[in-house]
Amino acid sequence: MSAVPPPRPKVLMVSPMPEWDIAPMREAYDLIDLPADGPEGLGLVSEITALVTSGGRGADAALIEALPALELIAVYGVGYDKVDLAAAARCNVAVTNTPDVLTADVADMALALTLALARRIVDGDAFARSGAWRKESMPLTGSVSGRKIGIVGLGRIGEAIGRRFAGFDTEIGYWNRSPKPLSAWRALPTPSALAAWSDILVVAVAGGGDTVGLVDAATIAALGPDGLLVNISRGTTVDEAALIAALESGTIAGAGLDVFRNEPAIDPRFSRLGNVVLSPHQGSATVATRQAMGALVRANLAAHFAGEDLPTAVIRRLG
Ligand code: NAP
């Protein structure tokens, strides 16, 4: 008589993933899509031991508490600000994320937005396509090389942004919550002091309750009328109402934004501004990086179900 195979783990898919991840995951697990009205109607809630979610969607306390057998939340992203870590810890649920593998692409996006904004690449494209060039020259633009770049949040991505800007013969300053004694760059004591020193302020700090509105109206104003703001972190870290007011009034010169308060239904006033470059949260959205992120999600799931140490744990289970 052949042995009965062990039951396949049931994994709740809170956010979609590409087929190149889904196919290998289906070989090992029963994947269950989260219904729009929540997990209650699934009939399987007591059997789900892991869930996979995106950084943008996360997992709130209600979802975590609705899954009594949950052991692991695997985030397909580095930011876990939408995961209720207190609820996860209370329910003894491990949380993993996908650090490092996306750092380069997100840092590249910060540079791309800065260059597009300062050199008016998007306007130039429209100018060339429209034929306006036949009649006149496009207005002059601003430099990036040689300017002062301020980085809010010198974590993995912030550091990578600094290294890239260093190649543009810029001066680099930063504000970071904790001291960075090994950094050769100039530390400023507050985000506002950093903005006052900077020509271009790049926000790379983590999202979450503690950093909501960290870049506030005073910090934005301190950049001055020639200043540019670039945000690749989270829409919450910049006071968006104050930013829009500053862009409308000319308090600052422009903004390059990959993240917004109310994604994907962004504030319609952004569409009417001529001094912004907008990107629909594309920081990590390359094929190579998404494949590496998916591989890391799968490695965390595999390690968990094999009883091995989690490769990239944010919090581990006790016992
Ligand atoms: P990281 O290495 O963990 O760095 C996080 C940074 O945020 C550090 O500077 C850290 O300061 C700071 N920080 C964390 N909590 C803070 C708090 N409560 N108050 C003040 N500062 C705090 O993370 P990373 O890999 O660089 O990623 C940074 C962020 O980028 C992510 O959290 C995510 O929101 C965003 N992101 C965006 C995209 C995109 O597509 N646009 C993609 C990936 C990530 P300490 O050094 O003091 O800890």
Atom of ligand 1 nearest to the CA of 285: 40
Q: Are strands 94-96 and 313-315 parallel, antiparallel or unpaired?
A: antiparallel
How far apart CA 231 and CA 110 sit, in angstroms, is: 7
Instruction: Provide the mean pLDDT of the chain.
Output: 97
Confidence of residue 199 (pLDDT cuts 50, 70, 90): very high
What is the model's pLDDT at position 236? Answer: 98
8 A C-beta contact, residue 152 and residue 159? no
- Quote the pLDDT of residue 123: 98
For ligand 1, is residue 56 a contact (CB within 6 Å)?
no
Q: What domains does the chain contain, in order, with CATH numbers?
A: 10-99+288-315 (3.40.50.720), 103-278 (3.40.50.720)
Q: Which of 177, 182, 194, 257 to mutate to test the pocket of ligand 1 (most atoms within 8 A of CB)?
A: 177
Instruction: Say which residues have a Cβ less than 8 Å from residue 191's Cβ, sequence separation at least 6.
Output: 152, 175, 214, 215, 216, 219
- In ligand 1, the atom with minimum distance to the C-alpha of 178 is 47
40 pLDDT above the threshold of 90: no
Q: How far is the CA of 91 from the centre of ligand 1 (A)?
A: 25
- Amino acid identity, residue 126? A
**CA 134 to chain centroid:** 41
* Percentage, residues of the chain above pLDDT 70: 99
Is 261:241 a contact under the CB 8 Å cutoff? no
Ligand 1 center–CA 45 separation, angstroms: 32
Query: How confident is the model at residue 71, as a pLDDT?
Result: 98
Is the CB–ligand 1 distance for residue 99 below 6 Å? yes
Block residue for tokens 């506002």: 192
Q: Where are the beta strands (DSSP E) in the chain?
A: 10-13, 30-33, 48-54, 72-76, 94-96, 148-152, 171-175, 186-187, 200-203, 228-231, 254-257, 276-278, 313-315
Our answer on whether the CB atom of 232 is closer than 6 Å to any ligand 1 atom is: yes
Q: State which of 75, 233, 236 you would mutate to test the pocket of ligand 1, scoring each by most atoms of that ligand within 8 A of its C-beta.
A: 233
Instruction: Point out which residues pair with 174 in neighbouring strands.
Output: 151, 187
**Residue 106 one-letter amino acid:** V
pLDDT at site 2 = 67
Active site residue 240: no
Residue tagged active-site, from 263, 272, 308, 316: 263
| Ligand 1 atom at minimum distance from 154 CA | 9
Q: What is the DSSP letter of 15?
A: S
Q: Is 12 helix (H, G, I), strand (E, B) or coil?
A: strand
User: 144-166 pLDDT, tens per residue?
Assistant: 999 999 999 999 999 999 999 99
**236 Cβ below 6 A of ligand 1:** no
Structure token pair of residue 108? 């590249």
Ligand 1 pocket, 154 CB below 6 A? yes
Whole-number pLDDT of residue 242? 99
Select which of 57, 234, 298, 304 is catalytic. 234
160 lines ligand 1 (CB under 6 A): no
High-pLDDT (> 90) share of the chain, %: 94
Residues whose CB falls within 8 Å of the CB of residue 210, separated by 6 or more in sequence, listed in order: none
Q: Would you say residue 46 has pLDDT above 70? A: yes
Q: Does residue 304 carry a catalytic annotation?
A: no
256 Cβ closer than 6 Å to some ligand 1 atom:
no
Q: Dihedral (C-alpha) 134, 140, 146, 149: value to the nearest 10 degrees?
A: -110
From the candidates 57, 120, 281, 304, which is the catalytic residue? Answer: 281
Coil, strand, or helix at residue 237?
helix
159 is catalytic: no
